[in-house]
């Protein structure tokens, strides 16, 4: 493989060096094996009310722990998984693990909503809604305990099909979110017809917004746009208390970011919640170094 080590220990595939079909085929084989060998991990990142600090949900983010290469991040294999169709298998795995975690947390007194990322290929998968329904039933979960995140660009890849699938999922009771908002090319005329509940502002506008007046203006307008359309607005990429404060002042409803927590293994979430909820820790948490 054309892989190079990143300074955080993760391995980056170099697409330019790794374009032979033979190598692609073996990456696909590795991905398939990874399911059986239990190499994927479900990480979750808490989702927090920005006015109160209350935890209302979490986003499922998949990790691949490769036996030789260590942690491989989603940006390095999700695009490939989408090209090859493997994403359909992976999405089902993520859905199953998310349902297990959600059920376990509810049993232990933490009824949190879980957000799962879907890709373009998932929106074209005619069997997906039925598979989701079956998973929910088996775990005795209400559809409202799941939020499905679809990026703006995945929607615009095939807007007609996306609308159809989203209408089906919405009718089933799932909560729907538009992810990475502001980075794609969606038309507002189209967006207004989608049955979504949430708009997620891309982290590229959030990361440095306290120092960038342009970013602040974009975020402010997006929050107003979302609210005017009756949507909940969420910011991702909150890395400092200053950005949290600013977003709260602008009326942003919820947020996620390293300032509150990095994505952590699902089985560490309860310990994190207990620490977060301890008196005096809200808005002054230690940055978590797990990932």
- Contact with ligand C2E (CB under 6 A) among 3, 28, 56, 78: 78
Structure tokens at 7: 């300074």
Under rule CB under 6 A, residue 100 binds ligand C2E: no
Span 19-48, contacts to ligand C2E by CB under 6 A: 45
Q: Interacting stretch for ligand C2E, rule CB under 6 A, among 8-16, 55-63, 103-111, 275-283?
A: 55-63
> For residue 246, what are the contacts with CB-CB under 8 A and spacing of at least 6?
209, 210, 216
| Sign of the torsion angle spanned by Cα atoms 226, 199, 270, 7 | negative
Binding-site partner at residue 273 among Mg ion, ligand C2E, none, CB < 5 to 8 Å by type: none
- What one-character-per-residue DSSP string does 18-33 give? ---HHHHHHHHHHHHH
The span from the CA of 265 to the CA of 256, in Å, is 16
Selection from 85, 35, 92 nearest residue 65 by Cα: 35
Under rule CB under 6 A, residue 76 binds ligand C2E: no
Binding-site partner at residue 169 among ligand C2E, Mg ion, none, CB < 5 to 8 Å by type: none
Binding-site size for Mg ion (CB under 5 A) equals 5
Under rule CB under 5 A, residue 179 binds Mg ion: yes
**Residue 180 Cβ, how far from ligand C2E at the closest point, in Å?**
5
Selection from 214, 213, 233 nearest residue 223 by Cα: 233
Selection from 45, 74, 42 nearest residue 59 by Cα: 45
Binding-site partner at residue 258 among ligand C2E, Mg ion, none, CB < 5 to 8 Å by type: ligand C2E
Under rule CB under 6 A, residue 258 binds ligand C2E: yes
Q: What is the largest CA-CA distance in the chain?
A: 56
Q: What angle do CA 40, 120, 230 make, to 5 degrees?
A: 105
- Contact with Mg ion (CB under 5 A) among 30, 76, 152, 180: 180
Under rule CB under 6 A, residue 255 binds ligand C2E: no
Binding-site partner at residue 75 among ligand C2E, Mg ion, none, CB < 5 to 8 Å by type: ligand C2E
First-to-last alpha carbon distance for the chain, in angstroms, is 23
Under rule CB under 6 A, residue 125 binds ligand C2E: no
Under rule CB under 6 A, residue 236 binds ligand C2E: yes
Would you call 59 helix, strand, or coil by DSSP?
A: strand
Under rule CB under 6 A, residue 61 binds ligand C2E: yes
**Residue 236 Cβ, how far from Mg ion at the closest point, in Å?**
5
- Contact with Mg ion (CB under 5 A) among 30, 76, 122, 149: 149
Under rule CB under 6 A, residue 62 binds ligand C2E: yes
Helix or strand (DSSP H, E) at 62: strand 55-66
Under rule CB under 6 A, residue 145 binds ligand C2E: no
Under rule CB under 6 A, residue 117 binds ligand C2E: yes
User: Which residue carries 């440095």 as its tokens?
Assistant: 208
The span from the CA of 108 to the CA of 60, in Å, is 19
- Contact with ligand C2E (CB under 6 A) among 74, 129, 159, 285: 74
- Contact with Mg ion (CB under 5 A) among 91, 98, 117, 261: 117
Under rule CB under 6 A, residue 215 binds ligand C2E: no
The span from the CA of 92 to the CA of 131, in Å, is 8
Binding site for Mg ion (CB under 5 A): 117, 149, 179-180, 236
């Amino acid at each position: 493989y054309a892989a190079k080590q990143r300074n955080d220990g993760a391995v980056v595939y170099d697409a330019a060096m790794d374009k032979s079909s033979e190598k692609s085929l073996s990456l696909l084989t590795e991905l398939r094996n990874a399911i059986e060998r239990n190499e994927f991990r479900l990480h979750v990142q808490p989702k927090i009310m920005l006015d109160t600090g209350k935890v209302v949900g979490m986003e499922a983010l998949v990790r691949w722990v490769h036996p030789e290469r260590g942690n491989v991040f989603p940006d390095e294999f999700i695009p490939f998984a989408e090209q090859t169709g493997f994403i359909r298998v992976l999405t089902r795995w993520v859905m199953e693990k998310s349902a297990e975690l959600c059920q376990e947390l509810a049993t232990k007194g933490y009824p949190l909503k879980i957000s799962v990322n879907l890709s373009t290929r998932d929106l074209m998968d005619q069997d997906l809604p039925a598979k989701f329904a079956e998973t929910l039933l088996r775990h005795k979960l209400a559809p409202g305990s799941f939020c499905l995140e679809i990026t703006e660009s995945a929607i615009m890849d095939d807007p007609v099909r996306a609308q159809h699938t989203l209408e089906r999922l919405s009718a089933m009771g799932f909560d729907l979110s538009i992810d990475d908002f502001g980075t794609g090319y969606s038309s507002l005329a189209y967006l207004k017809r989608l049955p979504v509940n949430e708009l997620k502002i891309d982290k590229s506008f959030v990361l440095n917004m306290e120092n960038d007046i342009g970013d602040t203006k974009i975020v402010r307008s997006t929050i107003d746009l979302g609210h005017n359309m009756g949507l909940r607005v969420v910011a991702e990429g909150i890395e400092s208390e200053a950005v949290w404060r600013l977003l709260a002042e602008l009326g942003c409803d919820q947020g996620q970011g390293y300032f509150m927590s990095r994505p952590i293994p699902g089985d560490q979430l309860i310990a994190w919640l207990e620490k977060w909820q301890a008196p005096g820790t809200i808005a002054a948490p230690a940055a978590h170094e797990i990932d």
